[in-house]
Amino acid sequence: MSQMNRRRALQLLAALGTTGLVAGCGSDTDDEGGTAPGSPVKIGLIVPGAGPNKAIGDDLVHGFQLFLNLHDQRLGGHPVTVVTAEEGNDGKSGKAAVDRLVKEGVVALTGVASSTVLADIRDTVEQARVPLISSNASPASLASVVYIWRTSYVLDEPGRALGQYLREQFKDPSTRIAIIAPKSSSSDDVIAGFKKGYEKGRELTEKPIFTRDDPNPGKNAYAKDIQRALEQRPDAILCNYTGTAAVQFIKQLYDEGYEGPLYAPGFLTEGTVLDELDDGETGKQRKRITEYGIETALNYSPDLNNTANRVFASAYRKTFNASPTTYAMASYDAAQVLDKAIRLAGADPTPQQLNLALGKIGQIDSPRGTWQFNQPRTPQQKWYLRKVQLDGRMLSNVVINELATLG
């Protein structure tokens, strides 16, 4: 029997309800359960195509598309059409994206780079009753949701992981840790998490210093605030920056004379940040970074040694000529989560059936290591301590320890 006739026969058998015969026949394109391919489904992907979060948006697209590339452009045995929508920079544009995708008949939503946008679209998603598998960091205030799931982490968790670690590192309660961060809800979550992990009977000696929340700061934007932090004579500094702001903060911190360790959530050194900081083997910037030390807490690193990550990281590098970030990994896992849930939801899943199935998928064999959803619909997962080191001739984030399991 030809491949085309064989596939048609399987489809006819499935339509007649002869599932036992279908499982017995088998097919080169069958899903793991042995059933014929399901009806096509639409998935809505909400990402920023411009602005300060564009790089994160690109990684979200790449991670999701990579999973589809490795699985014949199918999720749960169903052919998939991905419909993208512009996230924008605020709740208004985010809500417009959700509304448009729901009208187009998507069975699920994914993506969302901004934690602020995620918080702003909460009610829109819940009222639409279409599941959203968000694949970037979420605010700690986002609780009691039914249709919003996250494959990344809650923003207070990297702070908690670092707080517990530094409490062990710095036994002396008089240790001075200066905290400097942009004035934002993200920083509030990170700092609250850090205090929860670090203090426990002792208090940080100085209040946090907040800088302007500017995604594109100038070359001296942080100088005065850094000087205020250095006046505290800190033994270590905790910060919370990302992207261009992270590059400028690190450069200005060293230019102002700081010669101690720097700690932060892992997005400080994610994406292209290290490439922009690396000034070569004889460069002053590289020497400062490797001598003084930058350590970050994150749920993923491309050098993790597990089978799922070897497959993912290798395919990602080959496809996109870059190392995968936590953003790409979480979006890849969002596709993996949908793959499992759609398979459980059956031949013609509705958004509501799919949402119920999401609660039944169990453990995910992820590039970050095995994880599963907890009751608040976020991952229960390991956190890793990474240090910026030379990997060959390049600055890289290298895992040096496991931290807490949170979630």
Instruction: Give the DSSP per-residue string, 173-226.
Output: TT--EEEEEESSHHHHHHHHHHHHHH-TTS--SS--EEE---SS--TTTTHHHH
Quote the mean pLDDT of the chain: 90
Helix and strand numbers, DSSP H then E, in the chain = 15, 14
Provide the percentage of residues in the chain whose pLDDT is more than 90: 84
Read off the pLDDT band of 143 (50, 70, 90).
confident
Residue 333 has which token pair? 């896992």
73-99: buried (b, 16+ CB within 10 Å) or exposed (e) per residue? ebbbbbebebebbbbbbebebbbbbbe
pLDDT higher than threshold 80 for residue 16:
no
262: nearest Cα among 219, 299, 292: 292
Of 28-32, 72-76, 340-344, 345-349, least confident by mean pLDDT is 28-32
- CA-to-CA separations, 284 to 218, 223, 269, 287, 389, in angstroms, rounded: 20, 19, 18, 5, 15
Mean pLDDT of 5-22: 34
pLDDT higher than threshold 70 for residue 28:
no
Read off the pLDDT band of 38 (50, 70, 90).
confident
Mean pLDDT of 128-149: 95
Mean pLDDT of 125-132: 98
pLDDT higher than threshold 70 for residue 304:
yes
Prediction pTM value: 0.88
pLDDT higher than threshold 90 for residue 26:
no
pLDDT higher than threshold 70 for residue 55:
yes
Higher pLDDT among residues 33 and 55, named by residue? 55
pLDDT higher than threshold 70 for residue 101:
yes
